A and B are shown apart, each in its own frame.
Chain A
Amino acid sequence: MSNTENLLDAFRYGRGLEKQSLKLKIHRVFGVVWAQMKILLNYKMQFFLEVIDIILNVLIYYFIGFLVSGDELAKLGYRTSYQAFALVGIALSRYIWTSISRISRRMQREISIGTFESILVTNTSIDLWIIGQALFGFLWSSLWFVGTLVSGILIGIPIIITVYNLPQIIFIVLFSVLVHASIGILFAAIAILYKQIETVLFVFSTTIEFLGGVVYPIAILRKYQPLYYLSLMIPFTHSLELMRKVMISGINIWDPAASINLIALSLFLPLVWLSFKVLNYYYEEARKLGEISSY
């Protein structure tokens, strides 16, 4: 068989197989995840530094925990050590940071290396690509989450993980990631048109980590009423409260003490729909203005 016949044969073979089915859409989303995972694993140093980062974070708050008494936390409603309190905070905050920042950062990276336009001319919609990126961010953060918790457990930090609350923990993580990924998509939408939003992202994520109470109970903010109410308006606050109630206090997610946070978090669900609308709007604007490939 000649070379040309080989080419013809290669094209003939696939005729009629490319259909726009749901299965194919899922295949594409996981294709994005697979590629991102491979790229990340090829940066071996980064992978190694991530592991060091997890251990250092746990150790920092482990030693800070000796400065904060459990009695103080108990007065604020948490019957646990500070180490356990902070461990859950930093484990979950990674999810949130990744959910919010990953998509826009990845988009900027793809633009700068010149692959973004190549992706956009494929028949995968930008929505599917974004979902793939969000899913990869979620899976990668899950490794971080588990790594942080395991590191904490190994040095004796008391957190509650049982077969009964594990599904609830997973549910909280998924729910939180969904809500925060929508904020991430909103940032990505802005990044398509306005490009450098790294500083905005940094300020935003630092603010929500500060107001959300990663390393201190938000009850402390009651002394500063405006800040306290502001913190209640942030979805991350409710994600974290919910997680701490389940993992530290052993409260069931459907218990009124916890479900109040679940309801508050649910109020942010329309953001998921809104974020895709805004993304598509900015994407169309960028196509009109010729801003897709500039950075």
Chain B
Amino acid sequence: MDNAIIVRDITKVFRIGHNRQIVALDNVSFEVKEGEFFGLLGPNGAGKTTLTKIISTLLIPDSGEVLVNGYSIYKEPMKVRQSIGWMQGETGGRALYWRLSGYDNLKYFATLQGVNSKVAEIRIKTFLKFLDLDKDAYRLVKDYSTGMKIKLLLIRALLHNPSILILDEPTVGLDVASAIKIREFLRELNEELNKTILFTSHNMTEVEQLCDRIAIINKGKIIFVGSARQMKEKVEKVKVVSLKVRMNGKTENELVSSLMKMNSVEKILSKRNDEGIYEFRIAVRDPYETIPELVTKLKDWKIEAIERSLPTLEEAFIRILGGDYIE
């Protein structure tokens, strides 16, 4: 699989006043593969927006190189722009002409993207219908809800059929239903239309649901690149198995004693009784040994669920940011 985006040793320093400077990006390198859904995570001010703007040709780095579909942001910015659909973040639906209708906004940007009028007409109508905006297409954008504006921004980014989408917090400020709709749409674009998506978000559930790989950026440096699972495993200090058992007339002590007799069980970390169903979090040496052993040894018990318990993505993110993980 080829790389859709290659970021190599990018450094960007902003000068503030005469003698202050902020290192926004410090030797940042990573790749995004073709057809990949790639998440860029980081706290506010970490450098995410700076990075997406560099990839989108809006900002020139001090050093390093970025290739988008093989085109250099320095030498062929127009080809880079043709390859990407960019949706800026933190707009809450700004970045549109509020005194134009949704349809006219899209028509204007289709023209700027160089899309033939006839083609633009078909694409605009298809996308508006797909995202349930067709009935409001001719209303002025000033009368749109935030969700409708975000949908419009997304459609705008797609009009010229870019192979790569760069989306800066596309679901921020949306209600649950609209966020779900946008997520479904993004997944469809990625899975069915093979669009490469570079995506920034603070919503960990969303990132976990959508992204194939994640990069974490903090203070201008990439500190992690990998899948959500790898991210969780990286911060896992103790291997934990979670067990849910219905007591079925037996006592808690009987269960604890059975567990402690097992070879791979090290310690019971916590237990919780939820209306007759006990949930145990057990520290183990190797979860892949423990789980079959539990199934065998507890065959007389009513096991509700048994699984390897990893930290949440949120916990993993916080620990990686704090440097609290095992290299």
Contacts and interface: CB of A to CB of B under 8 A. Distances in A.
B294 interface: no
Interface stretch (B110-118, B215-223, B267-275): B110-118
B82 interface: yes
A119 to B, nearest CB: 6
B291 interface: no
Interface string B61-86: 00000000000000000100110101
Given A28-B112, A123-B82, A14 B97 contact: no
Contacts of A113: 94-95, 97-98
Nearest to B50: A290
Nearest to A35: B108
Interface in B38-58: 50, 53, 56-58
Interface in A1-49: 3-4, 6-11, 13-15, 17-20, 24, 27-28, 31-32, 34-35, 38-39, 42-43
Contacts of B127: 7, 10
Contact of B126 (A6, A17, A115, A120): A6
B100 interface: yes
A124 interface: yes
A178 interface: no
B81 to A, nearest CB: 5
A162 interface: no
B123 interface: yes
A158 to B, nearest CB: 41
B104 A14 contact: no
B316 to A, nearest CB: 31
Interface string A274-295: 0000000000100111101100
A18 B58 contact: no
Given A35-B108, A123-B113, A14 B123 contact: yes
A118 interface: yes
Given A17-B119, A35-B104, A115 B95 contact: yes
A114 interface: yes
A4 B109 CA distance: 23
- Of the four ranges (under 10, 10 to 19, 20 to 34, 35 or more), the interface on chain A belongs to 35 or more
Contacts of B116: 14, 17-18
B160 interface: yes
Contacts of A9: 126
Contacts of A13: 119, 122-123
B75 to A, nearest CB: 14
B156 A121 contact: no
B288 interface: no
A7 B111 CA distance: 19
B227 interface: no
A42 B82 CA distance: 31
B319 to A, nearest CB: 31
Given A7-B127, A35-B108, A114-B95, A42 B100 contact: yes
B109 A27 contact: no
Interface of B: 12, 14-15, 50, 53, 56-60, 78, 81-82, 84, 86, 88, 91, 94-100, 104, 108-109, 111-117, 119-120, 122-123, 126-127, 129-130, 140, 156, 160-161, 188-189, 192-193
15 contacts: A6-B126, A7-B189, A7-B192, A9-B126, A11-B123, A11-B161, A13-B119, A14-B161, A42-B100, A113-B94, A114-B95, A117-B53, A288-B59, A289-B14, A289-B15
